[in-house]
């Protein structure tokens, strides 16, 4: 069951082609560092991608990179975001796009977000965008004005319901909007650009039948989803902020070019707030992921690991708003450690000859929660209930056979690692500092043994360290260690 | 000084624009796992990129991804490599390209190869390739044949020297080649495709003035280097195997379209052999990087870390052939550990009130070697000489002031980390196993203390572990540990 923004109902998920799922999600505009607002959709649709694969579907997951055409405001005015950044940093726009694409990938990798099957770039699909624009002109739903091409919303609304996704009605929208001042190339205030003629100073430009220019922002997702997922596909995802106008315009473009709305299910994650406020550069609460990880931001009392962020996001349902605060994140950090320790306890359980618990209940409860519109908070609270059982098993207060233990350990690994995409980061992090501390302790114990003239212990410590790949060097100032080969 | 394949001489490097360097390097065709043959050019040009930046240049480094147009053989025949792989794996070609692009990035990241400034995809620059092809037709150096466009080598050779890079002469080449059988669309045997008409079953295709089709392989590098680096730029790099025909054809395309050879310096790394043989799938000695890292290949007696591979490659000059064998790699592994331990020893040196060594000699020798056509083996042997000094300093047999020590440590860090791009991987790896081992040792010592009724020591160990973030749990079967929060 999946909530469909188009029907405003939770619906049974039935793919267009059995066993295959086509999933398109709006990716980042790569003109700045990835921030919390990027983490939530990436993790939400990562969970959907993982769970569909877990259910045995073959999923083609397409998530784009917007590296051209996203203007400073959605009304098709202002400068291209990437061109502006390039101008400020005195770089070629593609250097800016590449740099922030890499930063985005690094941040997503660190949060264990799986990479999509195809990650197409808007600038790499100009031909396809020109072709779809031409189709819309040919079908009578767009007009050319001073070298730019605009979508004719009023004309379209006569044949198709503009506003079907957002629930807005064009008449109401029009009633609340000032009329155009006559300076614009557009005929109607809700018309949007399919192709923009480039100003002289604009670097990113391509030839087209109408002008040297660049595609409108909404066009890329329509053209790329058509290319890689076909005229109709299963799921289109993105943040709630993209529902209008971006996704509404995508539906209009697809209907105007091919007669189909393209996606069957529209899935939207809710937004993130910071201590109750909308995140925004002017509010001083704009926090990049790098700042979250390092703690290097006035709003943060400490850094939070990528897994803490992921766990925090999964503790809320994707359609609820989510408020970031240090208190909430610290609670998540503790919770995540408790979960990881519970799993470690399960690994230490000694099997006996009978099982006193119902091991099938875990998988059942998790499947119910996930099948119910990806209810990850219920999955996590279920795991916390089970952790109590894991400790009881470890302490011998409940018992389990070897076969059941293996099966339970496997279930937990599938739920935590495959479905939720959580991993014990502490075990994967560099333990250099900790290692220095612990080896220092051992060398101190060895020193004490020497002082007691307990040469057997002192030698045994040196030998065991050597086995572990650690060479001890004695000197007048004490012992030091290094990795031996 | 840099060896220029075009002049066959080592030349002084003078950039076209002071302080700016444009560098283009041929990247991978993403239809299979990255292997040793990818590691060498990536690391060679990473060294060039790093050293140019170290010298204070602002470098725009462009390395492409070939995701369309590279046919099975260079004579413009056979299937597109990516399409073929997609057919075999029953995937959309872009899924194949994305998968192997990710694999390539992961392998390069693990070997600490810096990412290029721009990484353009061939499939994302069809418009630019069509435009350059049209220019060449307009200039009279290409002809249309059955919807494909071919470069007219004979016509070109009357105005420009075909073979200028490879030293081949068209007359000699012709004398040793069978004439065409009349079945080909080409007029001459050395003519090459700028645009290929797609067969019906070909999925990757775009509209063009000549046919629905795709660009010839050589065209992408010419079009993308022109777009991001301009009509003329400084350095074009790649493996020696690409010198002919790929780079020869690139020069021809650029001369035929704009009159310029485009790159001033052509730099080629030499090839890799495996136990004296050419690497090839049919010879059973084709080793992917993942296999190198894991040791999972019949030719390998063990796995070699990404840093060992990098170090091994840097121990040879980039213009020498390089032979992989287990013995040679094991020697590099030992050598790399020796280098890292030497650097660790330098960190432990205690400064005194005078310096008995000439610390400026290190930077001078390294600069001489790197300025002499990137002589990394001399840099490494210089470091090995200095390691002896580091150990003498540590043992107090030579002495150094605090100021000189800081300066020497900084020099070593710049040479090893910035210029050679080496890092102490052991310190960055997961130490989970080692940590388990050493914490086990300290818990054993604590057990011994308890047996001696030395409660003070036993408690001190538990408290110190707690400080380090380790919680000890005592049970009848002994003590276990976990991370506390």
- For the cut 90, the answer to whether the pLDDT of residue A180 exceeds it is no
- For the cut 90, the answer to whether the pLDDT of residue A112 exceeds it is yes
Strands (E) across B398-484 are located at 470-475, 478-483
Q: Which residue has the higher pLDDT, B382 or B469?
A: B382
- pLDDT band of A103, cuts 50, 70, 90: very high
A437: chain B residues, CB-CB within 8 Å: 464, 467-468
- pLDDT band of A485, cuts 50, 70, 90: low
- For the cut 80, the answer to whether the pLDDT of residue A336 exceeds it is yes
Q: Do B337 and A483 touch (CB under 8 A)?
A: yes
> Which single residue is written with the structure tokens 């496997």?
A410
Q: How far is CA A275 from CA A321, A327, B116, in A?
A: 12, 10, 39
- pLDDT value of position A187: 93
Q: Which two tokens stand for residue A39?
A: 């983490």
- pLDDT value of position B426: 62
- Please give the Cα distance from B409 to A99 (Å, whole number): 31
Cβ–Cβ under 8 Å, residues A149 and A243: no
CA angle B321, B326, B330 (to 5 degrees): 100
Q: Do A438 and B437 touch (CB under 8 A)?
A: no
Q: In angstroms, how far is CA B478 from the centroid of its own chain?
A: 50
Instruction: State the sign of the Cα–Cα–Cα–Cα dihedral B75, B77, B83, B87.
Output: negative
A439: chain B residues, CB-CB within 8 Å: 438
Q: Do B438 and A442 touch (CB under 8 A)?
A: yes
Average pLDDT of chain B is: 93
- pLDDT value of position A434: 80
- pLDDT value of position B74: 64
A115: chain B residues, CB-CB within 8 Å: 98, 102
- For the cut 70, the answer to whether the pLDDT of residue A284 exceeds it is yes
Strands (E) across B228-292 are located at 233-239, 263-269, 272-274, 277-278
Flag whether residue B302 sits within 8 Å of chain A, measured between CB atoms.
Answer: no
ipTM: 0.89
Q: How far is CA A375 from CA A236, A371, A379, A467, B378, in A?
A: 19, 8, 7, 48, 60
Other residues' Cβ atoms within 10 Å of the Cβ of residue B363: 16
A454: chain B residues, CB-CB within 8 Å: none
Flag whether residue A460 sits within 8 Å of chain B, measured between CB atoms.
Answer: no
CA distance A387 to chain B (A): 15
Residue B167 φ/ψ, nearest 5 degrees: 75, 10
Give the pLDDT confidence of B77-131 residue by residue, as tens digits.
778 888 888 888 888 999 999 999 999 999 999 999 999 999 999 999 999 999 9
- pLDDT band of B46, cuts 50, 70, 90: very high
Q: For chains A and B, what is the number of CB pairs under 8 angstroms?
A: 142
Provide the b/e sequence for A272-304 (b: ≥16 CB within 10 Å): bbbeeeebeeeeebbbbbbbbbeeebebbeeeb
Residue of A nearest to B60 (CA): A95
- pLDDT value of position A426: 63
Task: Tell me the residues of chain A between 325 and 344 that have a Cβ less than 8 Å away from chain B.
Answer: 333-334, 337-338, 340-341, 344
Flag whether residue B468 sits within 8 Å of chain A, measured between CB atoms.
Answer: yes
Cβ–Cβ under 8 Å, residues B249 and B190: no
Q: Rounded mean pLDDT of B164-168? A: 95
Flag whether residue B448 sits within 8 Å of chain A, measured between CB atoms.
Answer: yes
Other residues' Cβ atoms within 10 Å of the Cβ of residue B119: 18
pLDDT winner (highest mean) among A50-54, A296-300, B453-457: A50-54
Percent of chain B with pLDDT over 70: 97
Q: Do B131 and A442 touch (CB under 8 A)?
A: no
Most distant CA pair in chain A, distance? 97
- For the cut 70, the answer to whether the pLDDT of residue B287 exceeds it is yes
Q: Going edge to edge, which strands form the sheet with A277-278? A: A277-278, A272-274, A322-324
Flag whether residue A435 sits within 8 Å of chain B, measured between CB atoms.
Answer: yes
Average pLDDT of chain A is: 93
Residue of B nearest to A341 (CA): B482
**How many residues can be counted in chain A?**
485
Percent of chain A with pLDDT over 90: 78
Give the pLDDT confidence of A237-258 residue by residue, as tens digits.
999 999 999 999 999 999 999 9
- pLDDT value of position A427: 52
- pLDDT value of position A430: 54
Q: Rounded mean pLDDT of B297-319? A: 96
Q: Rounded mean pLDDT of A339-366? A: 96
Strands A263-269 and A233-239: parallel
From A448-452, B39-43, B120-124, the region with the lowest mean pLDDT: A448-452
pLDDT winner (highest mean) among A181-185, A474-478, B183-187: B183-187
Cβ–Cβ under 8 Å, residues A289 and A279: no
- For the cut 70, the answer to whether the pLDDT of residue B211 exceeds it is yes
Provide the b/e sequence for A3-21 (b: ≥16 CB within 10 Å): bbbbeeeeeebebeeeeeb
Flag whether residue A116 sits within 8 Å of chain B, measured between CB atoms.
Answer: yes
- Please give the Cα distance from A58 to A74 (Å, whole number): 35
**How many residues can be counted in chain B?**
485
């Amino acid at each position: 069951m999946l909530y469909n923004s188009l029907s405003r109902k939770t619906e049974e998920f039935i793919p267009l082609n059995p066993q295959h799922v086509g999933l398109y999600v709006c990716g980042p505009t790569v003109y700045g560092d990835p921030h919390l607002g990027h983490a939530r959709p990436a993790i939400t649709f990562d969970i959907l991608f993982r769970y569909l694969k877990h259910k045995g579907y073959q999923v083609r997951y397409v998530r784009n990179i917007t590296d051209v055409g996203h203007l400073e405001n959605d009304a098709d005015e202002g400068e291209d975001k990437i061109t502006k950044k390039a101008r400020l940093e005195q770089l070629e726009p593609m250097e800016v796009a590449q740099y922030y694409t890499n930063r985005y990938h690094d941040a997503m990798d660190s949060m264990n977000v799986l990479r999509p099957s195809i990650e197409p770039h808007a600038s790499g699909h100009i031909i396809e965008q020109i072709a779809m624009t031409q189709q819309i002109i040919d079908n009578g739903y767009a007009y050319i004005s001073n070298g730019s091409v605009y979508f004719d919303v009023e004309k379209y609304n006569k044949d198709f319901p503009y506003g079907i996704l957002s629930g807005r009605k064009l008449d109401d929208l029009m009633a609340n909007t000032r009329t155009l001042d006559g300076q614009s190339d557009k005929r109607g205030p809700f018309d949007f650009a399919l192709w923009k003629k480039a100003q002289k100073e604009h670097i990113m430009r391509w030839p087209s039948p109408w002008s040297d220019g660049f595609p409108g922002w909404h066009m890329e997702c329509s053209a790329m989803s058509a290319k890689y997922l076909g005229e109709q596909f299963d799921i289109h995802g993105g943040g709630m902020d993209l529902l209008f106008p971006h996704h509404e315009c995508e539906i209009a473009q697809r209907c105007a070019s091919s007669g189909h709305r393209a996606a069957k299910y529209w899935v939207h994650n809710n937004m993130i707030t910071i201590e109750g406020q909308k995140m925004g550069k002017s509010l001083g609460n704009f926090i990049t992921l790098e700042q979250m990880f390092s703690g290097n931001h006035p709003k943060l009392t400490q850094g939070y690991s990528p897994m803490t962020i992921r766990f925090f996001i999964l503790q809320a349902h994707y359609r609820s708003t989510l408020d970031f605060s240090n208190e909430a994140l610290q609670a998540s950090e503790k919770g995540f450690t408790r979960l990881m320790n519970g799993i470690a306890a399960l690994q230490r359980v000694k099997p006996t000859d009978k099982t006193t618990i119902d091991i099938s209940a875990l998988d059942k409860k998790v499947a119910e929660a996930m099948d119910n519109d990806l209810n990850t908070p219920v999955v996590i609270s279920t795991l916390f209930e089970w952790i109590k059982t894991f400790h009881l098993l470890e302490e011998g207060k409940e018992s389990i056979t070897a076969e059941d233990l293996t099966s339970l350990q496997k279930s937990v690994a599938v739920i935590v690692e495959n479905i939720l995409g959580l991993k014990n980061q502490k075990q994967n992090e560099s333990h250099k500092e900790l290692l220095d501390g612990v080896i220092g302790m051992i060398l101190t114990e060895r020193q004490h043994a020497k002082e007691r003239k307990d040469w057997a212990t002192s030698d045994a410590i040196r030998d065991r360290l050597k086995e572990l790949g650690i060479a001890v060097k004695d000197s007048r100032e004490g012992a030091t260690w290094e990795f031996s080969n």
